Chains A and B, each alone.
Chain A
């Protein structure tokens, strides 16, 4: 048996830097793959817009009814509609990430991808881009309905929107990274987590009520969740017309911790899946 080659031999076999380093072309190839999939299936496109619209209609009618029967200014300000729209950014953002990942598992394509030159970081970035695109397909009709038919004044949030959006997407990607990692490690048995993970956050993120509504024992849990700050900031803008930069900065700081943890978890779970030998056989 020959000895293993020395370092200089490996160096001489180095691929062109485009093959080894980060490649935007590979990221866009993956985005293209998912756009092909979406464009091939009108049902998938309709499904993306269907649920946010149904949910928005339900909560908007509730807001109309409660607004007429109650004198609370908090209801007049459209906080229910605002809350449900931002919740959709959070939930659909995570779902967009996780579903794009699951498409690869369902189609038994993961083995092809993970032994191609596609780097895990490029794969994750393509999932992030897809989560934004899928979210927009679902959210734009809902926002148009909210502003046109229910008098939701999106202009009140105007310059805060990018801050709110970025924070919610960072949380969505953090959860998406962990759930995708768990699916990598445990196979489709963990698929349910992709659908349900975000709902565990729902009662504590205080979407439609202030944090002070929670029992004092649960409030620290709420403040450990980045979206809680976003929903508080939204209420401050809609009710008091106050831009709470402090809340959004705190949310961002927490989000950076969350995305760091999510990235480490995804990496560790991918390494664990390689050790378990589950990558090649993963699928339906």
Chain B
């Protein structure tokens, strides 16, 4: 990778306020190209708002977020074809078949040789037998795979995932994680993953950003974070952070002292 290439994501003092209540408060972080970063935090920590600002769906109240160098508030048109996402907040139209949905999104993303691409991705995600079934008739696991197929249809350089395995049984969830690992290895893509599943984050992510009340509490490698807290797993660290115990709480208190 060229040293002059901009990072996949660069957030600077990124803030969002709703009715004078800060949802995201002066976040600054970068996600290097080719890395997998976990975005963690309890409900209402500001993860989804942060993702929405990165996608350009929500305008920041202050600060900026750049994706591959383009300011997402003003220049998102330059990079949207290189991004894709999956979120529980957005569905594929239920009355369309999986193939029709992939065909429409493939055309929106300008995917060449679309028919072959759909066959290939359906094969890879074990969706071939469901391609001509209406999306609304699929099981939760099949819907997740269809949504993942849409998210991967353009072979994105940056993949944003909001709890991609939340509604899946352990076997299917493991299968999805394996596929994401394979995609990252093959494509060298950047992945930003918001999740409540700490095992998933430990397995997939090079680095984790932990948020609480709209602010970044930690931003480091999972192993380093576990060691610093003297814990066995990331889940234990997460609970410490969420409940205001341990190193994180002491650090926060120290920061609060003028």
State the CA gap A107–B134 with chains docked (Å).
13
Whether, in the assembled complex, A280 has its beta carbon less than 8 Å from a beta carbon of chain B, the answer is yes
Tell whether A280 pairs with B48 under 8 Å between CB atoms, given A25-B107, A111-B57: yes
Whether, in the assembled complex, B108 has its beta carbon less than 8 Å from a beta carbon of chain A, the answer is yes
Whether, in the assembled complex, B58 has its beta carbon less than 8 Å from a beta carbon of chain A, the answer is yes
State the CA gap A4–B74 with chains docked (Å).
14
Residue interface bits B77-100, CB-to-A below 8 A is 1, else 0: 111111101010111111111001
Whether, in the assembled complex, B37 has its beta carbon less than 8 Å from a beta carbon of chain A, the answer is no
Nearest B-chain residue to A283, judged by Cβ: B91
State the CA gap A177–B92 with chains docked (Å).
24
Tell whether A13 pairs with B93 under 8 Å between CB atoms, given A1-B28, A117-B109: no
Question: In the bound complex, do residue B91 and residue A108 qualify as a contact, i.e. CB atoms below 8 Å apart?
Answer: yes
Nearest B-chain residue to A23, judged by Cβ: B110
State the CA gap A254–B91 with chains docked (Å).
40
Q: Which of A26, A30, A114, A277 has the most CB of B within 10 A?
A: A277
* Shortest beta-carbon distance from A125 to chain B in Å: 14
Question: In the bound complex, do residue A29 and residue B52 qualify as a contact, i.e. CB atoms below 8 Å apart?
Answer: no
Question: In the bound complex, do residue A111 and residue B59 qualify as a contact, i.e. CB atoms below 8 Å apart?
Answer: no
CB-defined A-B contacts under 8 Å, sample of 8: A10-B69, A10-B70, A25-B110, A29-B107, A111-B57, A115-B55, A117-B80, A280-B58
B95-118 contacts to A (CB < 8 Å): 95-97, 100, 103-105, 107-110
Interface of chain B, helix or strand or loop or mixed? Answer: mixed
Question: In the bound complex, do residue B96 and residue A36 qualify as a contact, i.e. CB atoms below 8 Å apart?
Answer: yes
Whether, in the assembled complex, A19 has its beta carbon less than 8 Å from a beta carbon of chain B, the answer is yes
12 A-B pairs besides A4-B64, A15-B82, A274-B56 with CB distance below 8 A are A2-B7, A10-B70, A20-B78, A33-B104, A37-B96, A108-B89, A117-B109, A276-B18, A277-B49, A280-B52, A280-B90, A283-B91
Please indicate the chain B residues that have their CB under 8 angstroms from the CB of A116 in the complex: 80, 105, 108-109
Please indicate the chain A residues that have their CB under 8 angstroms from the CB of B18 in the complex: 276-277
Chain B: number of interface residues, binned into ranges? 35 or more
Nearest B-chain residue to A44, judged by Cβ: B95
Nearest A-chain residue to B10, judged by Cβ: A4
Nearest A-chain residue to B151, judged by Cβ: A112
Please indicate the chain B residues that have their CB under 8 angstroms from the CB of A279 in the complex: 52, 57-58
Whether, in the assembled complex, B16 has its beta carbon less than 8 Å from a beta carbon of chain A, the answer is yes
A1-45 contacts to B (CB < 8 Å): 1-2, 4-5, 9-10, 13-16, 18-20, 23, 25-26, 28-30, 32-33, 36-37, 40-41
Please indicate the chain A residues that have their CB under 8 angstroms from the CB of B52 in the complex: 277, 279-280
* Shortest beta-carbon distance from A245 to chain B in Å: 41
- B108: which of A5, A29, A36 is its contact (CB, 8 Å)? A29
Please indicate the chain A residues that have their CB under 8 angstroms from the CB of B23 in the complex: 277
Question: Which residues on B are within 8 Å of A, measured CB to CB?
Answer: 4-7, 10, 12, 16, 18, 23, 28, 30, 48-49, 52, 55-59, 64, 66, 68-70, 75, 77-83, 85, 87, 89-97, 100, 103-105, 107-110, 134, 150
* Shortest beta-carbon distance from B149 to chain A in Å: 13
Q: Which of B52, B91, B93, B94 has the most CB of A within 10 A?
A: B93
* Shortest beta-carbon distance from B7 to chain A in Å: 7
State the CA gap A219–B18 with chains docked (Å).
44
Tell whether A9 pairs with B91 under 8 Å between CB atoms, given A20-B78, A111-B57, A117-B108: no
- A112: which of B12, B103, B150 is its contact (CB, 8 Å)? B150
Tell whether A33 pairs with B12 under 8 Å between CB atoms, given A111-B57, A114-B57, A274-B59: no
Tell whether A4 pairs with B66 under 8 Å between CB atoms, given A274-B57, A280-B57, A283-B91: yes
